[in-house]
Amino acid sequence: MIQIDEKGFYGKFGGAYIPEMLHPNIEELRENWEQIVASPDFQEEFQMLLRDFVGRPTPLYFASRLSEKHGAKIYLKREDLCHTGAHKVNNTVGQIILAKKLGKKRIIAETGAGQHGVATATVCALMGMDCTVYMGALDIQRQRPNVERMKILGAKVVPATSGSQTLKDATNEAMRQWINNPVDTHYIIGSVVGPHPYPEMVARFQSVISQEIKSQLLEKEGTPNPDIVIACVGGGSNAAGAFYHYYNVPQVRLIAAEAAGLGINSGKSAATTVLGTPGVLHGSKTLLMQTEDGQVVEPHSISAGLDYPGIGPVHAHLHDIGRAEFVAVEDEDAMKAGIELSRLEGIIPAIESAHAIHALNMIQYQKDDVIVINLSGRGDKDLETYIKWGGY
């Protein structure tokens, strides 16, 4: 059984490694979030917004031409059709309601590809709350459309100019800001990373993905269980959502596609389960890419959302016990997979999601196996990257 203990550990990974000044914030969340989320008034508002604002349930689409090419029954869970264009909004809706019930007036967030930032800015506009989003200066350049969307929605976008100027550094800046404003501010972490209770809380909000897959597959295939579920993993929120209701269903294979960047041994990679070792990053013990003396190694991926030097502790645990299989997808292969899906199915995927599409070429499966790929986001935000790459 995969479960989390009272201190926030999945096996040997997790916990809350935080400075003393953050202790009251984390304790307030830890002591209250489950009771609030379980309350009827929270659930009524959450479910209403998922339905009427986000547009859930998202379709489970049978990709007939992709299936024909690969010799399997391939379904795409269309999280790209969520309002804002990705799965991120499932979590931000849940956390904004929680923040309101905790009496918070101001929201901060970090973002990499910009989808979590847009989703946070969107729900802050919906709820009339002040919003500041921290984003790596490099990511601001390569995800300009999402930066402008956040600004249109009323959010302040603050560049992180330290380190690699990507997601890790944006997270550092957001945490620093939270330490300085502990009373009135809630930090909406966008992935299954950070100190307990964030990894489990984010996974719980995203678990609507696998909950829907089960009921939709039952209708389409007569069983709630596919043979394989595939999702990309940076921090890993979309994968946690797609895997959640299958953690303890051993006959369902869980495949996590990481970013190998320019190659695992190139020095320009984000393949954490291959290159990482146990350590503490952003408040939890997990697998991360680091030097022998514990300095974080800068990651690289062509996809801003996978450009992270660690993975969420739940994914580190799934890897540690062999429950999930991890594959490392290089930039070039992900881009080609994105074009392939566009040409075969008329769906331009986010480059993050394209990593999961390419995973089909890296695993063994039986003819007519039922495979669900979580299409975590749409490719609008990545058009500049597709254009610059030019391989189409």
Query: Is 301 designated active site?
Result: no
Q: Is 38 helix (H, G, I), strand (E, B) or coil?
A: helix
Question: What backbone torsions phi and psi does residue 356 show, to the nearest 5 degrees?
Answer: -70, -35
The amino acid present at 178, given as its one-letter code, is W
- Cα–Cα distance, 65 to 74 (Å, whole number): 9
- Cα–Cα distance, 301 to 271 (Å, whole number): 9
User: How many Å separate Cα 137 from the centre of its chain?
Assistant: 20
Encoding tokens for residue 341? 């899906």
List b or e across 243-273, with b for residues whose CB sees 16 or more CB atoms inside 10 angstroms.
bbbbbeeeebbbbbbbbbbeebeeebbbbbb
Residue 195: asked if its preceding bond is cis (omega within 30°), the reply is: no
Work out the angle between the directed axes of helices 198-206 and 208-221 (0-180°, nearest 10): 30
Q: Is 391 exposed, middle or buried (0-12, 13-18, 19+ CB in 10 A)?
A: exposed
- Cα–Cα distance, 173 to 282 (Å, whole number): 11
Alpha helices in the chain (DSSP H): 23-38, 40-49, 64-70, 88-101, 115-127, 137-142, 144-152, 167-180, 198-206, 208-221, 237-243, 272-275, 313-320, 331-345, 351-358, 383-389
Query: Is 210 designated active site?
Result: no
Cα torsion through 349, 351, 355, 358, rounded to 10: 60
Alpha helices in 163-280 (DSSP H): 167-180, 198-206, 208-221, 237-243, 272-275
Encoding tokens for residue 231? 């999702």
Catalytic hit among 88, 104, 168, 336? 88
Catalytic hit among 301, 330, 376, 381? 376
- List the Cα angle 259/10/22 in 5-degree steps: 90
Radius of gyration of the chain (CA): 19
Catalytic hit among 79, 110, 200, 258? 110
Query: Is 376 designated active site?
Result: yes
Q: Provide the residue count of the chain.
A: 392
**Which residues are designated catalytic?**
88, 110, 376
